[in-house]
């Protein structure tokens, strides 16, 4: 096998095992620039992308397929990039979503592109059932005849100033509702946040999903979508009946037996329970969720009148009858060739709840999402009567398949809303302008662009399930073994000491260099300085008391966007972010010496090297030679222009390979020997952790 073929196979294996590694393929494929940065066009307007091949990318012929509404093929063609540049264009005479897949013959590599044509004009495939309101009103009355029978079981929150408990309530048909609830440990009334969970076989809820929100000031409730315990060992969930693990098949031909009936009623009861609590402030009640969690949030927002805000990301279940009318529908993937299933589905379709929603709504849509196709979500959004804001994510697939950067428009905007609401503020939705003009109006509406991130020195959580699980595992890791050297950072740090099988050789290198120094890796892929700050503020360094902290951060804030000029705002912003990380590390671990690493080169766009160099120059000034040491290895990794030397980096031009990690280790070991003495013959560091999604938890 050739070296190039081996690298490509390794990259695509990483895509399977680690969703956030999608960025690895950038350097291996053409780059597509949409005609309109917003990705949104008018009917009759030319939708298009300019393709070009960066240095090192295979040139030649590519094939592409264009689908309308992720369903019907409307164009195919060949893209000749032998000259380095070409275009893909299509024109539609009706509102629709456009989905494009580009591939190279003989290769498994592909690129997906998305666009919207007059999406604000998309309408439901079929009318809402005439007895829809009557059906749900009767079901809610049946639920209300059953006492809540609330059982709260207090537990340890593992977070100062936060109260925590598990909760059980009664549902219809002898079923139960389980969840976790947390609140600030003080007298008063608080805004409420109810969280709904995504699809998949039943899984345990993570305590941090409510305690972290409670620490921010929320009365937070997170409920199971199933009648199962919320915090049992994994063996409990593994042993559940197969029928329950395929719950979307239960009762799908009968609205009175549908599994989603008891799920939605459980959601309603959870919200209603919050409204009866004396510690709810009576003013702010937010429901939120992703995928099936978003599906539930839209449904219950259409049912319960006291909900004030709804925040959803790529909600599932929208426009279930779409395949009968040339539109893909996605999860729960109910078969369109069964009339009974299609008729039943309409009673659980968020599109039919949306027109009842009066709450202020934030809805994020991934333009290349095939799990919950964007056309149905746009239709649901258009039906909402209350104030609303759409967050287009033009290059994002479904959340668990997306990179943090692709999901950032949602994560940033959702946190902005939550941060405002928890303080008692008012959110003002940004409006989508009319697309009647062919002019690109995206500059007038920031919500049509990737949202600018919050300041780099502001803590921001990663809200995807995979990152939440990883955070919980790192909280446990800090309590195990002995940690004298604490590595902190993003994926460049994480891959070095991870248990993930695809990075086995990196872990071997880690052990060869650091065994005997009790070194533990607390990096997490995709993290910005904001995310690292949040993890530190939320316990990952608490009680560790390391002797040395090795910090490398900032490359995900910089990204691969070309500079805006010599004073690119990322320079000052990232500098402040790294200073904030240093400050909290010194507060949490006052006895530690911090080794501050310079940001390593990015060859996915060499134009950003002046930004990296200037930031490194700035942060070097934070070192005092004693408690903070600055270490820059870029001259060993790369030439004077920042181009990696042979073997130092992975094919993506960003992540280090074994040779690069050895350069880093060789630079660290003299300092560690000075501070800690030579490595011992035994090592007591906790075992390495890895990516939860690589273990099938996604």
- For the stretch 583-615, pLDDT in tens is 999 999 999 999 999 999 999 888 899 999 999
CA distance 489 to 470: 14
Q: Which residue has the higher pLDDT, 8 or 350?
A: 350
Least confident of 261-265, 307-311, 454-458, 534-538: 454-458
pLDDT above 60 (res 436): no
pLDDT above 50 (res 4): no
Segment 359-386 mean pLDDT = 97
Segment 615-637 mean pLDDT = 96
Please write the tens of the pLDDT for every residue from 251-303. Answer: 999 999 999 999 999 999 999 999 999 999 999 999 999 999 999 999 999 99
Least confident of 43-52, 386-395, 431-440: 431-440
In this structure, the strands spanning 162-170 and 151-155 are antiparallel
Portion of the chain with pLDDT greater than 70, in percent: 91
pLDDT of res. 509: 97
The pTM score is: 0.69
pLDDT above 80 (res 233): yes
pLDDT of res. 9: 40
Beta bridge partners of 168: 151, 178
**Tokens coding 229:** 């315990």
Segment 365-381 mean pLDDT = 97
User: Residue 68: is the preceding peptide bond cis (ω within 30°)?
Assistant: no
pLDDT above 80 (res 24): no
Give the H or E element holding residue 135.
helix 132-144
**Tokens coding 416:** 């902005």
- Asked if residues 454 and 412 have their Cβ atoms less than 8 Å apart, the reply is yes
Per-chain mean pLDDT for the chain: 90
* Sign of the CA dihedral with 474 first, then 478, 481, and 486 last: positive
Q: Which residue has the higher pLDDT, 9 or 329?
A: 329
pLDDT of res. 532: 96
Which long-range contacts (C-beta less than 8 Å, at least 24 apart) are formed by 560-566? 560/26, 560/602, 560/604, 560/605, 560/608, 561/605, 561/608, 562/605, 562/607, 562/608, 563/607, 563/608, 563/610, 563/611, 566/610
Contacts of 166 (CB under 8 A, 6+ apart): 152, 153, 155, 178, 179, 180, 181, 230, 231
**Tokens coding 481:** 């073994």
Phi, psi of 371 (to 5 degrees): -80, -45
Tokens 């000052």, residue located: 572
């Amino acid at each position: 096998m050739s070296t190039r073929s081996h690298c490509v196979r390794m990259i695509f294996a990483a895509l399977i095992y680690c969703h956030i590694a999608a960025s690895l393929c950038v350097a291996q494929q053409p780059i597509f620039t949409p005609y309109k940065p917003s990705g949104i066009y008018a009917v009759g307007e030319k939708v298009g992308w300019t393709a070009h091949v960066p240095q090192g990318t295979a040139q030649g012929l590519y094939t592409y397929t264009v689908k309308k509404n992720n369903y019907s093929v409307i164009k195919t063609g060949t893209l000749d990039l032998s000259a380095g540049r070409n275009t893909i264009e299509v024109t539609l005479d009706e509102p629709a979503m456009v989905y494009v897949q580009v591939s190279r013959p003989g290769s498994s590599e592909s690129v997906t592109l998305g666009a919207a044509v007059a999406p604000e004009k998309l309408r439901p495939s079929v009318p809402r059932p005439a007895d829809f309101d009557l059906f749900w009103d009767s079901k809610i009355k049946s639920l209300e005849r059953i006492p809540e029978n609330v059982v709260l079981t207090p537990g340890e929150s593992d977070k100062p100033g936060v109260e925590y408990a598990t909760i059980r309530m009664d549902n219809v048909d002898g079923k139960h509702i389980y969840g976790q609830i947390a609140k600030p440990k003080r007298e008063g009334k608080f805004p409420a946040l109810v969280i709904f969970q995504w699809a998949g076989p039943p899984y345990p809820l993570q305590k941090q999903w409510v305690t972290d929100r409670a620490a921010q000031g929320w009365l937070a409730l997170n409920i199971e979508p199933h009648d199962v315990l919320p915090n049992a060992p994994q063996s409990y969930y593994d042993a559940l009946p197969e029928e329950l693990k395929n719950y979307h098949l239960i009762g799908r031909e009968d609205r009175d037996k549908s599994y989603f009936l008891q799920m939605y009623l459980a959601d309603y009861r959870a919200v209603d329970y919050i409204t009866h609590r004396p510690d709810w402030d009576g003013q702010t009640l937010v429901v939120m969720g992703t995928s099936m969690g978003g599906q539930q949030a839209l449904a219950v927002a259409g049912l319960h009148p006291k909900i004030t805000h709804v925040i959803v990301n790529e909600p599932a279940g929208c426009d279930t009858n779409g395949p009968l009318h040339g539109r893909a529908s996605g999860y729960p993937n109910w078969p369109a060739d069964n009339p009974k299933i299609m008729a039943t589905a309409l009673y659980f379709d968020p599109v039919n709840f949306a027109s009842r929603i009066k709450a202020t709504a934030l809805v994020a849509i991934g333009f290349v999402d095939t799990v919950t196709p964007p056309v149905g979500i746009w239709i649901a959004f258009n039906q909402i009567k209350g104030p609303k804001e759409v967050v287009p994510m033009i290059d994002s697939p479904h959340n668990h398949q997306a990179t943090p950067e692709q999901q950032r428009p949602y994560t940033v905007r959702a946190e902005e809303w939550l941060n405002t609401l928890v303080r008692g503020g008012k959110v003002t939705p940004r409006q989508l302008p009319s697309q009647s003009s062919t002019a690109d109006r995206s500059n007038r509406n920031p919500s049509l662009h990737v949202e600018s991130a919050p300041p780099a020195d502001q803590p921001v959580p990663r809200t995807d399930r995979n990152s939440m699980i990883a955070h919980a595992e790192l909280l446990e890791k800090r309590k195990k073994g002995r940690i004298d050297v604490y590595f902190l950072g993003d994926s460049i740090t994480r891959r070095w000491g991870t248990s993930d099988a695809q990075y086995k050789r990196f872990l071997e290198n880690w052990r060869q260099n650091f065994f005997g120094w009790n070194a533990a890796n607390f990096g997490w892929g995709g993290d910005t300085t904001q995310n690292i700050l949040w993890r530190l503020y939320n316990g990952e360094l608490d009680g560790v008391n390391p002797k040395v902290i090795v910090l490398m951060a900032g490359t995900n804030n910089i990204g691969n966007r070309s500079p805006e000029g010599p004073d690119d705002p990322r320079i000052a912003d990232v500098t402040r972010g790294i200073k904030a990380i240093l400050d909290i590390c010194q507060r949490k671990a006052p006895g530690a010496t911090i080794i501050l690493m310079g940001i390593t080169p990015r060859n996915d766009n060499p134009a950003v090297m002046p930004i990296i160099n200037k930031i490194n120059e700035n942060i070097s000034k934070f070192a005092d030679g004693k408690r903070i040491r600055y270490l820059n290895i870029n001259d060993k990794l790369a030439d004077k222009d920042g181009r990696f030397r042979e073997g130092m980096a992975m094919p993506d031009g960003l992540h280090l390979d074994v040779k690069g990690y050895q350069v880093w280790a060789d630079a660290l070991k003299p300092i560690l020997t000075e501070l800690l003495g030579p490595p011992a013959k035994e090592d007591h560091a906790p075992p390495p952790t890895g990516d939860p999604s690589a273990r099938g938890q996604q």
